[in-house]
Structure 1
Amino acid sequence: MADKTLICKDCGKEFIFTEGEQEFYKEKGFDNEPKRCLECRRERKQQKNRDRNY
Structure 2
Amino acid sequence: MADKTLVCKDCGEEFVFTEGEQEFYKEKGFENDPVRCNTCRKARKQQSNRR
TM value normalised by structure 1: 0.94
RMSD: 0.3
**Hey, what does 1:36 align to over in structure 2?**
36
Structure 1 segments of 4 or more deviating over 4 A?
A: none
Query: Would you say 1:14 and 2:18 are equivalent positions?
Result: no
What's the % identity of the aligned pairs? Answer: 76
TM value normalised by structure 2: 0.99
Q: Give ranges in structure 1 of 5+ residues lacking alignment.
A: none
